[in-house]
């Protein structure tokens, strides 16, 4: 009888691993859908709006792990601001991280900040966001960074 108990426990262990792997794969697939159908269209719209102000942006996606936006100084190829949405390794839900970085001027070092991505949005509602939500968040973080830099005493 005791021998059967350990076999059951071993089977539960392997079933638990299978469930974790399933949720991790689903999280990666949902993140990829989020990037393709929500974030990339938002970045494209932002790219067009900023191009009218002679500001170039670049963006790229690392499948299943991150999507990155870079805003350059006006009429320059020097990066001014970075906005990166990250799916943490081994995630089982869309509890994402936002990494922003920026530089005060073309010769300043990048100052980086990491925080939860839209903490007010539950992981199960991330796929319900619209491109406007993403654009507004990028503008908010860009504004927050630039206002802080421009009003800093140093």
pLDDT of residue 151: 86
Q: Is 2's pLDDT higher than 70?
A: no
Here the tokens at position 73 are 């100084």
pTM: 0.90
Q: Which two tokens stand for residue 143?
A: 């504004």
Q: Which tokens is 109 given? A: 């070092």
20-64 pLDDT, tens digit each:
999 999 999 999 999 999 999 999 999 999 999 999 999 999 999
Per-chain mean pLDDT for the chain:
93
Q: What is the tally of structural domains in the chain?
A: 1
Look at 23-27, 65-69, 121-125, 147-151 and tell me which has the smallest mean pLDDT: 147-151
Number of Cβ atoms within 10 Å of the Cβ of 134: 25
Domain span at residue 54? 2-151
Mean pLDDT of 90-107: 93
Structure confidence at residue 97 as a pLDDT band (50, 70, 90) = very high
Q: How far apart are CA 42 and CA 137, in angstroms?
A: 10
Q: Is the sign of the CA dihedral 103, 108, 109, 111 positive or negative?
A: negative
Q: Tell me the two tokens of residue 110.
A: 């990048």
Q: Phi and psi at residue 15, in whole multiples of 5°?
A: -65, -40
């Amino acid at each position: 009888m005791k021998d059967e108990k350990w076999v059951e426990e071993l089977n539960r262990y392997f079933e638990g691993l299978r469930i974790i792997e399933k949720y991790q794969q689903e999280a990666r697939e949902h993140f990829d859908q989020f990037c393709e159908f929500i974030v990339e269209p938002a970045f494209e719209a932002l790219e067009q709006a900023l191009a009218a102000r002679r500001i170039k942006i670049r963006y790229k996606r690392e499948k299943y792990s991150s999507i990155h936006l870079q805003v350059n100084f006006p009429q320059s190829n020097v990066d001014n601001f970075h906005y990166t949405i990250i799916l943490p390794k081994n995630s089982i839900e869309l509890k994402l991280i936002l990494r922003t970085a920026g530089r005060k001027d073309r010769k300043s070092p990048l100052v980086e900040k990491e925080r939860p991505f839209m903490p007010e949005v539950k992981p199960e509602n991330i796929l319900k966001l619209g491109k406007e939500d993403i654009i507004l968040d990028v503008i908010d973080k860009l504004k927050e960074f630039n206002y802080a830099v421009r009003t800093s005493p140093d």
